[in-house]
Structure 1
Amino acid sequence: MKKLDPGTHIDGFLIEGCIHAGGMAHIYSVRYAQSQRPATAPGFPMVMKIPRMAAGDGAENIVSFETELQILPHLHGAHVPRFVAAGDLLRLPYLVMEHMAGQTLQHWLDQPGPLPIETVCRLGMATAQAAHSLHQQNCCHLDLKPGNVLIQPSGNAVLLDFGLSCHAHYPDLLAEELRKAVGSPAWIAPEQIVGVRGDLRSDIFAIGVMMYELLTGELPFGSPITEGGMRQRMWMAPTPPRSLRADTPDWLQEIILRCLEPEAAQRYATAAELAFDLGNPDQVPITQRGKRLHGLSLFGKLRRWIKAAGMEYHPSPLPSQQIGEVPILMVAVPHKDVSDATLYSLRQAVARSLSTRPGARLAVVTVIAPSASSTTDSSRSETQLHRLHLARLKQWAQGLETRGHGLSFHVLEASDVAQALVRYAQGNHVGVMILGAATHGLQMQRLIATVPMRVVRDAPCTVILVKQQLPFEALGKLQTSDSREKYES
């Protein structure tokens, strides 16, 4: 179909101009024709997407349009454009959706000179948060690349173009219609190459590719044009970013190379965990990945190749199910007016939760009152106070079995404890929060909204309230002491 001229009318929409001409579709800025504006018209700017259907265009153009038409109306949230209308596939296929203001990641790649490390992390974290929101809705994007990630002026990331996506609740039209791997060659994940679709960790791989390019200016696996070239990433290891850019911190290289692992199980289990590490770089455990300065040895490459040759790829669980199996687990540890029984009970509850959630990440959090002064001495004492509370949290966690679990410690400053815990849970996509139950009687709780009650009311996740109890040894000592007192009396 040829490009539409401004002023063209289509089903009550007025074409204002073409704002993008891609390989698979044209995108136009549109508005309602004044005489046909419905009473329920949305109050935001709109665009119309029309697939290219010329004689030389592939069948994937129309199949990807059908896929996006099937998925987009069922997505919601701040990280996707809102759906408005769709055209008849037999007459004129089109999609009308919200026009999102901002710049795609390609804008930052086009800038001269290296990007600041803070910018790379900020863009990567925003993209990971957007991907996590999509995965919570049981949808995997599967075509994340710089042109499909838009950053709004607020810093929020919006994902575009769902033509290659896979939604667990709807037929996978691309898998049914096309018998080959679909995706953009530079960003496609290894499992997609062999036909596995619907694994949220494929999007994490693509985010790793984008962060690598934002950091170094180069693509980790180049731009292959053949299937054989794409298959090489199933055993290839990219050049470590630190050898391409000397100021790359080891924690950032650790994060990026973990995203780019050829085996999906070796990457981040969820995009929320990736965003968590980008937001807490001082808590990222550094392995050989982060320290590497050179590529793999010949023996290392051969070992990877042999492993890839015998690897079997299996469909992953539903994205929302996978997120639920490996959540970010948060425990709120009080630092004052707390009994040993409460600390013991919290530790036992966390141990039980970790034992039933292999791979879950644990964030140990405490909230302290904010510092009243900003003088140098006060700042120094504030740092010492933070270190003191961090040491106490680490001491509290010493009895936990944390092998196989990410572990981090956080001291928050806030005058409102409940609000601080809820905000932390929201900002870090916490799946389960554990905190002590109120020790006041029910009559008092009816009059006063306690911290646990407020957290349960406002938290965006599952909350486990733990009633304090003493360990058996302490109970035995307490019973012996009570019996002695009775005997002596």
Structure 2
Amino acid sequence: MPVKLHAGLAIDGFTLEEPLHEGGMATLWRVRHPDHALPMLMKLPRIQYGEAVSQIVGFEVERMLLPVLRGPHVPRYIATGDYEDQPYLVMEHVSGDTLRPLLDRTPLPADRVAHLGALSALALEDLHRQHVVHLDIKPSNLLLHADANGERIVLIDFGLSRHSQLPDLLAEQFHIPMGTAPYIAPEQVLGIRSDPRSDLFALGVTLYHLATGQRPFGFPSSQRGLKRRFYQDPAPPRSLVPDLPRWLQEIILRCLEVDADARHPTAAQLAFDLQHPEQVVLTERGERMQRSGALATTRRWWRFVGHDIAQKTNVADAARAPLIMVAVDLKHHDLGLNDALRDTVQRIVQTSPGARLACITVMRTARIGLDSNLDADGRNRHVKRLVGLRDWARPLELPHHRITFHVLESSDVADALVDYARNNVIDHLIMGARGVTGVRRILGSVSARVVAEANCTTTVVRSRADGAAEATAPP
């Protein structure tokens, strides 16, 4: 059964004291632990029936990233684990409030908007220097903390983030835009998740809202609505708030440029402009008082949607470590096959020190109808398999940055494995093969279909009891 949370419950030594937030994706509790003196909170994702798989993957992203982040602009990582199939993440409880309540008091004075923007940009600069793009910057993820040294912004909620030197779990498992609709940058709409300037766009949306009381692109609810920001520019802030300084409009509209090359090159440069308004060079952006006309809008549509941005989506990182994928069947417990599969994986991974391993299992779903994601005991099937994958891989003793875990959902196991390997440019796929029954002779085994259809090197491992260790097929 899913864990029933209540005050006094002890989870791996952490005692729940009181709930701080009941969100749609996770619950936050204040916790204490005898070995930790600082204030702490525990984040527990919602894993009941009906919860989106993407939010479970997002939680996995956050607990992969938070331990490697440092500095005053992120909460300090404490611990993570799984308690009776309930994942959790413990972090420092940073005092203060997010910028979300300020939206009820907009428009704010220009100097306050600039101050909050500069603090946010400095926090982003610190994050970007750690090779991370946040990708979900919005008022509710910008926490304003005050202490003896003054105010600073602490960034929270890294469920959509991307670390350039760690696996991008969301991109590997999903192929739809990830972000919050009013704030998502144009390149994110197209699936580009590697540009730090995407965070500057989202911060520009936040500053626009704080300065005018309105969102520049509304609250689109469809892919078509998201794409309007490619060619329909927002109303100039000064057309909504006439006494807004030209320098602030210049900065905000520069953040909202469709082409990332036209934005500030770095968050540090954005912070500098916000801190030194007298040095901001005004262009026609600062003078603008109305939206572009129909002709300019049409030209922009052709330029960005039809040509330039489409070309940018084809740019890939030139250097990458080999990607190895192992398909693990958690439903059939064949100890001999599991041992042989682990031995093969370990041997192959060790031959490539820079290799990364993706552990995959497929959860079968009905072709027709709606499956519950809870099993007969009330446990979340997706989370249960994530825990099973971690248990299977623990003897490999790989560092966290070299191994990831994915639960795919499909009515066809072979199709799911082949699609994952193709979509994520896997170099080497390893899987086990069970004994051949009469049905498999007629219909073809999963491993035989994968070998025939996968576009990468495929190694099929048999149990030692079957007399054969493995067989490898080139792409």
Give me the TM-score of the superposition, normalised by structure 1: 0.62
Report 1:180-199 matches (<5 A).
Answer: 180-199=176-195
Contact 1:199–1:316 (Cα < 8 Å) also in 2: no
Matches of 1:281 and 1:3, distance apart in 2: 52
Percent sequence identity over matched residues? Answer: 47
1:107-159 CA distance string (max 9 Å, x none) = 21122x53111110010000000000000000000001111000112310000
Q: Which residue of 1 aligns with 2:85?
A: 91
Distance change >3 Å, CA 276–CA 285, structure 1 → 2: same
Matches of 1:236 and 1:127, distance apart in 2: 26
Which of 121, 127, 130 does residue 120 from structure 2 map onto?
127
* Greater mean alpha carbon deviation, residues 113-122 or residues 291-300: 113-122
Which of 170, 174, 179 does residue 174 from structure 1 map onto?
170
Amino acid aligned to 2:168: D
Distance change >3 Å, CA 89–CA 172, structure 1 → 2: farther
Amino acid aligned to 1:58: A
Displacement of 1:317 in angstroms is 7.8
Which of 128, 146, 153 does residue 139 from structure 2 map onto?
146
SS at match of 2:182: coil
Matches of 1:282 and 1:3, distance apart in 2: 56
Contact 1:15–1:31 (Cα < 8 Å) also in 2: yes
Q: Which residue of 1 aligns with 2:312?
A: 313
Amino acid aligned to 1:268: H
Matches of 1:94 and 1:316, distance apart in 2: 34
Q: 4+ residue runs of structure 1 moved beyond 3 angstroms?
A: 314-318
Distance change >3 Å, CA 77–CA 226, structure 1 → 2: same
Contact 1:3–1:26 (Cα < 8 Å) also in 2: no
Give me the TM-score of the superposition, normalised by structure 2: 0.64
Counterpart check, 1:67 vs 2:61: yes
1:229-252 CA distance string (max 9 Å, x none) = 011111221100000001111110
Which of 272, 276, 301 does residue 276 from structure 1 map onto?
272
Contact 2:12–2:83 (Cα < 8 Å) also in 1: no
Displacement of 1:223 in angstroms is 0.4
Contact 1:25–1:49 (Cα < 8 Å) also in 2: yes
Amino acid aligned to 2:85: R
Counterpart check, 1:26 vs 2:22: no
Matches of 1:96 and 1:232, distance apart in 2: 39
> C-alpha root-mean-square deviation of aligned residues, in Å?
1.6
1:386-422 CA distance string (max 9 Å, x none) = xxxxxxxxxxxxxxxxxxxxxxxxxxxxxxxxxxxxx
Distance change >3 Å, CA 81–CA 23, structure 1 → 2: same
Amino acid aligned to 1:163: G
Which of 291, 307, 311 does residue 295 from structure 1 map onto?
291
Displacement of 1:267 in angstroms is 0.6
Matches of 2:286 and 2:83, distance apart in 1: 50
SS at match of 1:156: strand
Matches of 1:223 and 1:2, distance apart in 2: 35
Which of 36, 45, 49 does residue 43 from structure 2 map onto?
49
SS at match of 1:233: helix
Amino acid aligned to 2:233: A
SS at match of 1:186: coil
Amino acid aligned to 1:28: W
Decide which structure has the larger Cα Rg and report it. 1
* Greater mean alpha carbon deviation, residues 231-240 or residues 309-318: 309-318
Matches of 1:310 and 1:131, distance apart in 2: 30
SS at match of 1:44: strand
Displacement of 1:316 in angstroms is 8.4
SS at match of 1:15: strand
Matches of 2:295 and 2:193, distance apart in 1: 31
Displacement of 1:3 in angstroms is 6.2
Which of 220, 224, 228 does residue 224 from structure 1 map onto?
220
Larger RCO, structure (CA 8 Å, separation 6 or more) = 2
Matches of 1:317 and 1:209, distance apart in 2: 28
Distance change >3 Å, CA 3–CA 25, structure 1 → 2: farther
Matches of 1:289 and 1:90, distance apart in 2: 56
SS at match of 1:45: strand
Amino acid aligned to 1:266: A
Report 1:10-25 matches (<5 A).
Answer: 10-25=11-26
1:442-489 CA distance string (max 9 Å, x none) = xxxxxxxxxxxxxxxxxxxxxxxxxxxxxxxxxxxxxxxxxxxxxxxx
Amino acid aligned to 1:126: L
Q: Which residue of 2 aligns with 1:206?
A: 202
1:336-372 CA distance string (max 9 Å, x none) = xxxxxxxxxxxxxxxxxxxxxxxxxxxxxxxxxxxxx
Displacement of 1:90 in angstroms is 7.2
Displacement of 1:9 in angstroms is 1.3
Report 1:443-462 matches (<5 A).
Answer: none
Report 1:151-170 matches (<5 A).
Answer: 151-153=144-146, 154-170=150-166
Matches of 2:48 and 2:299, distance apart in 1: 46
Show structure 2 runs of 5+ residues with no match: 319-475
Matches of 1:103 and 1:310, distance apart in 2: 42
Matched positions, count: 310
Which of 73, 79, 91 does residue 79 from structure 1 map onto?
73
Displacement of 1:91 in angstroms is 2.2
Amino acid aligned to 2:134: H
Contact 2:3–2:84 (Cα < 8 Å) also in 1: no
More strand per residue: 1 or 2?
2
Matches of 2:22 and 2:121, distance apart in 1: 27
Displacement of 1:82 in angstroms is 0.3
Q: Which residue of 2 aligns with 1:304?
A: 300
Contact 1:45–1:98 (Cα < 8 Å) also in 2: yes
Amino acid aligned to 1:143: D
Q: Which residue of 1 aligns with 2:256?
A: 260
Displacement of 1:185 in angstroms is 0.5
Matches of 1:176 and 1:194, distance apart in 2: 15
Counterpart check, 1:137 vs 2:123: no
Contact 2:44–2:88 (Cα < 8 Å) also in 1: yes
Counterpart check, 1:101 vs 2:98: no
